[in-house]
Structure 1
Amino acid sequence: MRRVDKLRKLRNINLNELWEKEQEWLDYNLLDRKYNDCVELKFWKDLAPRYSEKFNLYRDVPGLGEWLHQKIGNNKRLLEVGCGVGNFTIPFSKYSKEILAVDFSPAMLNELLKNIEYENIENIRMHHSKWEEFEEPYDADFVVSVNSLYRVRYMETALKKISEYGKQGFFIIRTVYKPYLHEIFDELRIEYKINSDYMFMPMMLWNMGISANVQYTRYGRPISFQAWNDIEGQMIDDIGEDKYLQYKDELSDRFLQKAVKGENGFTYISEQIIEIIYSFKDGSHFSL
C-alpha cells in the first residue's frame, strides 16, 4: 500500500469512537462519578479543602512552573480549564494580565476564592461551568488545562474548542495514569492496565490538522500504606488476584526493597509520568 493510501486510511479512523470505547463511555454506570454529575460534585466537595495539599503538580514537578512562565510570557490573558483550587491559577496571576478560571465544582471554586482573597489578587475571574458547556466570550492568548479533561466524552470537540479559544496556543498537562506500583510490575514483566488517553489526545489534534508538540517529564510522589493488607489490596486491584498470587513472593520482596517502613506504615515513592501537549500558533517548539 502506498504511503498516501496509508495516511488516508489512518485519517478515516473515527478516533472519538475509539475514545468512547477505550474510556468505557459505553459502559454507563450512574453510581460512578465519571457518568453522574451529582456523584462527581460530592466527590470534589469532600476533597476540595485537602486537594492542594494532596495534589499539586505546580509544586511537585520540578521546573514545570518556570517552564510554563517562560513559554507563556508576561501580561497575557489566560483561560484555565478546570482550574480547581488554583494550584496553577494563583502562580499564573503573578505575571498574567488576566485569568478566566473555569471549573465545574462550586466547592473547588470556593477554595480558589479563599486563595484569591488571601493573596489579595484582582486579575482572576471565576466561571462555573463544564468545559463542554462553556460558551463565555473570552479573548484568551493561551488556554491551559491541567488534569481536567478526564470526564469528557466527546474529546475531539473539547480539544478543538481549546485550540479555538487560544489565540497564541494552548497547554494540556496530563498525568499518565499508571498504577502507583508500576515500576515493580515492569521489573517483573507483569502486565497491567494503563489508561490510553495520553495517546489519543495528540492523535486527535494531529488528525484535525492542529500542530501539537508532546513531551514527558517525571517526578516522585510519596504513596502511603498503613498496613500490609492495603498493599496487597492495591496490587490485586492493579493486576488481578491470579497474577498477584502467582508473583506474591517476588512482589513482596521488590516492594520491601523500595519502600520505607515507619511508625505509620510504609511509604513508597511512585514514579509519576506527566505528559505535556502544547501548541503555538506561530509553530515554535520548546523543550522542558
Structure 2
Amino acid sequence: MLKLTDIDFNAVWQETFGWNTDDKSGRKFDDQAESDFWVKLAPHYTEEYNLNHDTPLIAQRLHQLLGSGHSILEIGCGSGNFTALMARYSKSILGLDFSPAMLTVLQQRLLAEGIGNVQTHTGKWEDFTTDAAFDYIVSVNSLYRIRDMAAALHKMNAYSRRGFIIVRTIQRPFFYRLYRNCGLDCAECLDYQLLPLLLWQQGIQADVEFLNYTKDRSFNDLETVVQEMRNDLGSEVFTSQRDKLLSALEQQAAPVSDGYTVSQPRTTVIISVKK
C-alpha cells in the first residue's frame, strides 16, 4: 500500500510542470527567451500587471506577517510592485530578479519615490549565494522556473532567520468560476498545492491561507469575450456550451458605453513559515 511518506513530491513537481519532458522550448526552460519576454513587458508591467490594483489584501497581509524594522530578501522583485510597499516599513530589502530590464525599472522607481533602503541583484534564486542573513524572505509569484523546488525551499529556510513567505495567485482562466458553475473543466496551475507538501515533507511547518477577492476586466465587445472562452475551452467544447456560457455571462456582465465590465472571483494563496 502506498503511503504519503513514500511519495517524492519533488519528483511530482518536476513531472507536473514539464521538467521531465523532451521538449524544453519556451520561457520556462530558455533563459534567453525569458529575458527577452521581460524586456518587452518591463516598461508597462507595473501599470498593467500590478496585483495591488486588484486588491490591497495581499500587501496588507504581508505587512501583518512581516512586521516592521526587518531585513528582507525578495525573490523575483520585478519592477517593485511589492518592494516599494515593503520598503516603507522594513529596515532593508535586497531585491533579486533574473531580468535586468525589470531591475532597471525598479531602480528608476526607487529613485523617483525617494526610497533608499533597497538594493538589487541580478540573478536566479537557484544560483544566488551570500554570507548575509535576512530576517525574512518573500516571493510573490516568482518561483515558476525552478526545477528543484525542494532545494529552493530548503535554501529559503536556511537563509532566513525569522521565516519566509510565498505568495501564489492561483493561475486560472479569468472565467474559471463561470466555467465551473456551468459544469465545465478547465486548466489551472496546481503549484500552490504542491508547495506546502514539499515544505511539510522537509519538516518545515508552513501555514496556508487563502485570500479571496474579485477582479474586474473590461472587454470592448462580446466577440472579444467569446474568443477568450473559445481559447480557454477549445472550439468544440465552447461551441457545444455556447448558449449556457453566454447566459451565465449575461447575469454577470455590466454593459458600459464601450463594451462590458465583468467581475470574477480570484484567489491568492499565502504560504508562510515562522521560526
**Which category describes the TM-score, using the shorter chain as reference length?**
over 0.9
Partner in structure 2 of residue 234 of structure 1: 228
Partner of 2:67: 73
Shift of 1:106: 0.7
Q: Does 1:149 align with 2:143?
A: yes
**Which of 245, 260, 266 is 1:266 aligned to?**
260
Q: Which runs of 5+ in 1 are unaligned?
A: 282-288
Distance 1:32 1:265, change over 3 A: farther
* Counterpart contact for 1:62–1:219, Cα < 8 Å: no
Question: 2 CA distance for matches of 1:247 and 1:264?
Answer: 26
The percent identity for this pair of structures is 37
Superimposed CA distance per residue, residues 161-218 of structure 1 (whole angstroms, 9 cap, x where no aligned partner):
1111111001100001111101111111111122111100000000010000000012
Q: 1:74-131: per-residue Cα shift (whole Å, max 9, x none)?
A: 2110000000111111111111111110000111101100111012222111000111
Alignment of 1:39-78 (within 5 A): 39-78=33-72
The code of the aligned residue for 2:157 comes to S
Distance of 2:113 and 2:148 partners within structure 1? 36
CA separation in 2, counterparts of 1:149 and 1:265?
36
Q: Structure 2 vs 1, CA of residues 244 and 18 (structure 1 numbering), >3 Å: closer, same or farther?
A: same
When residues 32 and 229 of structure 1 are mapped into structure 2, their CA distance, relative to the original with a 3 A threshold, is farther
- Give yes or no for contact 1:61–1:218 (8 Å, CA) kept in 2: no
Partner of 2:205: 211
Structure 1 contact 78–141 (Cα < 8 Å) conserved = yes
Structure 1 residues 132-162: Cα deviation after superposition (integer angstroms, max 9, x where no partner) = 1111232100000000011111111111111
Q: Deviations along 1:245-277, whole A, 9 cap, x unmatched?
A: 221101111112212233443322221110000
Following superposition, the deviation at residue 31 of structure 1 comes to 4.4
One-letter identity of the residue aligned with 2:225: I
- TM-score w.r.t. the length of structure 2 is 0.94
1:111 paired with 2:105, answer yes
Distance between the aligned counterparts of 2:76 and 2:90, measured in 1? 18
Give the number of aligned pairs. 275
Distance apart, 1:67 and its partner CA = 2.6
Helix, strand or coil: the match of 1:257?
A: helix
Matches within 5 A, 1:122-201: 122-201=116-195
Cα distance in 1 for partners of 2:121, 2:10 equals 27
Correspondence for 2:20: 26
RMSD (Å), alpha carbons: 1.7
Tell me which of 89, 100, 108 is aligned to 1:95: 89
CA contact (8 A) 2:213 2:267 kept: yes
Closer, same or farther: CA 28–128 of 1 in aligned 2, 3 Å: farther
Q: Which moved more, 1:55-64 or 1:239-248?
A: 55-64
Deviation at 1:236, TM superposition (A): 2.2
Deviates more, 1:258-267 or 1:109-118: 258-267
Q: State the distance in 1 between where 2:95 and 2:271 align.
A: 20
* Structure 2 runs not aligned, ≥5 long: none
- TM-score normalised by L of structure 1: 0.90
Aligned with 1:247: secondary structure? Answer: helix
Whether 1:38 aligns to 2:32 is: yes
Looking at structure 2, the residues matched to 270 and 194 of structure 1 have their Cα atoms a distance apart, in angstroms, of: 15
